[in-house]
Copies of this chain bind each other. A is one copy, B any other.
């Protein structure tokens, strides 16, 4: 089991909310709602996704990466982690 499973119910509830917001934004477009109100919803969705991203990244680092470092030195896992961080920061 991957280390994020200890937070699974929290992650799932955040993602259900994001899924609901994606549906809500579609409804806002169909209802011709004001652009800036839609943009606020999208900004909230991005912030919510960043929280899920950081939670997964943290449990990945504490779990898989730390384990690999203690095992084979972690060269490969750290390369992979850096690619993820690079993608998330740009």
Contacts and interface: CB of A to CB of B under 8 A. Distances in A.
A82 B60 CA distance: 11
* Candidate in A3, A4, A11, A57 with the most chain B CB atoms within 10 angstroms: A57
A53 to B, nearest CB: 5
Task: Give the number of copies in the complex.
Answer: 4
Interface in A35-90: 35-36, 38-39, 42-43, 45-46, 49-50, 52-54, 56-64, 66, 69-70, 73-74, 78, 80-82, 84-90
Given A54-B85, A66-B69, A90-B50, A22 B26 contact: no
Interface residues of A, number: 59
Contact of A36 (B3, B8, B35, B80): B80
